[in-house]
Structure 1
């Protein structure tokens, strides 16, 4: 079926089935929560070996259909089990508002960290991996992006951050934020965390012209992760966009159910050497998040 007709068909199906399914959710509240799932895992496990659900453009709630990628606010993402965040900051007058492309998301880096610390205070067995990326064009700054990040981290409290150049064990990371640094230090100080992408294995084919081809790439990289080195970090983005065919929500409605089916099927396989790694989603359903988490016990 031609991609355009397939998209139109699934759009009509979505109108019938509604906004909340096991794999896809565009409502504000997840149907199932699991806020402390890491508590059940042993301390010695490397974070790189874990199956971790994440969100792409975690704070992208505004800007129209091409910019909006999530419907759960950060508190609800954490409660659903999300432990990888994709945080995009514009450097604007020495501050760090959150943007997705040109679209301001009505919050800033400080608020993201305040909400994260609040969650970790309540659930100290958990840890948060946070990709921090400079987004869009800088505007009227008197200092570097690195120094603005440093000021915010200092204001929140250094003890909430595990500053390391590699992903540690879960035991070392509990109760901490680990920044995956997607910006330059420029010799101004030590790194905040492991460099992104650094030596990570990442699939992020975000420009999508055919959802079938996008799914093939997602499936390929998930299979690579399952047979890969437990010390390597594998990140698979199921997200993507096309200005006409695939706004993020439409693509998620097509890709997320396939991902849910894939994860359900691999749990019974015995030939895998490790988990699927970090799986990064737009508009995830709560049961899809849970399927990723359950891969840690399979």
Structure 2
């Protein structure tokens, strides 16, 4: 009996460490099945636009190799999908004209991440075949000397998946993309849904949150997918920054859940070393209504005084 109790408490402590214990940060590669969120999108109303959903994501999603200044994630792609991550930030490219596979790299130092893009698309597709109500957003950034060739190869590769990808510029409703990969446009890959970075974080701190959330709600959220990145610079360890930034992000999510401030415009959060706890909190946020505004895409909102929180 004593042994069983000790084993129980050991597993409880281990699980707590894996989740991140409210810090928003996790650097443990293990992921207990109790933390899986494989079908959280099934409960979203069909008419909900992707831009109105709080979506947990990973920054440099496949950067698991390369040393302390490079590594941004600890979970494999399969584990990220199981825990509930639905936005992937992927970097890939070709450096030789005879190269036929598009290899995955980190976004700064270009270390090979032991995968190619074909494998990535297959793993996502296999996941979506089982979890048919989910959708995965994929933002692809191309690197190397042959970007135009890579883009052509990617488009050919996408063609093989046909009805299981979304490459239109418009932001779809969830019913249009269940079971599909939704590509997001980037500066180097020009197919996919329109999206915009927000600036909730400045100098690695949350600033002017109330004002920025107002602008996002009135101008962007019904029309564009909003992506918040919490990334380190080239000379700073992603892990050390994530320890601090993820806590702020976790507190922001908790605050919006507690105050019921229509948190739909939280949009996508692209994180380094996210915890299962923060992901669970994110996926439990219900989407809000589209803002009732006459402002159209491309128009500027009325200017208001900026306040710092």
Q: Which of residues 91, 103, 107 in structure 2 aligns to 1:97?
A: 103
From the superposition, tell whether residues 242 and 126 of structure 1 become closer, same or farther in structure 2 (CA, over 3 Å): same
Partner of 2:232: 240
Is the Cα contact below 8 Å between 1:128 and 1:177 reproduced in 2? yes
Across the two proteins, how many residue pairs are aligned to each other? Answer: 262
Deviations 1:76-106 (A, max 9, x none): 1011110000011112324310011321111
1:203 is displaced (CA, Å) by 3.4
Is the Cα contact below 8 Å between 2:91 and 2:105 reproduced in 1? yes
Q: Which of residues 182, 190, 203 in structure 2 aligns to 1:178?
A: 182
Which 10-residue stretch deviates more, 125-134 or 228-237?
228-237
Give the 5 Å matches for 1:66-215: 66-92=69-95, 93-100=99-106, 101=108, 102-135=110-143, 137-138=144-145, 144-155=149-160, 157-183=161-187, 192-195=191-194, 197=195, 200-203=196-199, 213-215=203-205
In structure 2, C-alpha distance between the alignment counterparts of 1:69 and 1:201, rounded to whole Å: 19
Q: Secondary structure of 2:228's match?
A: strand
Partner of 1:188: none
Provide the alpha-carbon RMSD of the alignment: 2.6
From the superposition, tell whether residues 222 and 27 of structure 1 become closer, same or farther in structure 2 (CA, over 3 Å): farther
Q: Secondary structure of 2:286's match?
A: helix
In structure 2, C-alpha distance between the alignment counterparts of 1:57 and 1:183, rounded to whole Å: 16
1:234 is displaced (CA, Å) by 1.5
Q: Which of residues 57, 63, 66 in structure 1 aligns to 2:66?
A: 63
Is the Cα contact below 8 Å between 1:233 and 1:277 reproduced in 2? yes
From the superposition, tell whether residues 229 and 204 of structure 1 become closer, same or farther in structure 2 (CA, over 3 Å): closer
Q: Secondary structure of 2:89's match?
A: strand
In structure 2, C-alpha distance between the alignment counterparts of 1:203 and 1:27, rounded to whole Å: 29
Note the residue ranges of structure 1 that are not aligned, 5 or more in a row.
1-16, 186-190, 206-211
TM-score, normalised to structure 2, is 0.76
Is the Cα contact below 8 Å between 1:218 and 1:238 reproduced in 2? no
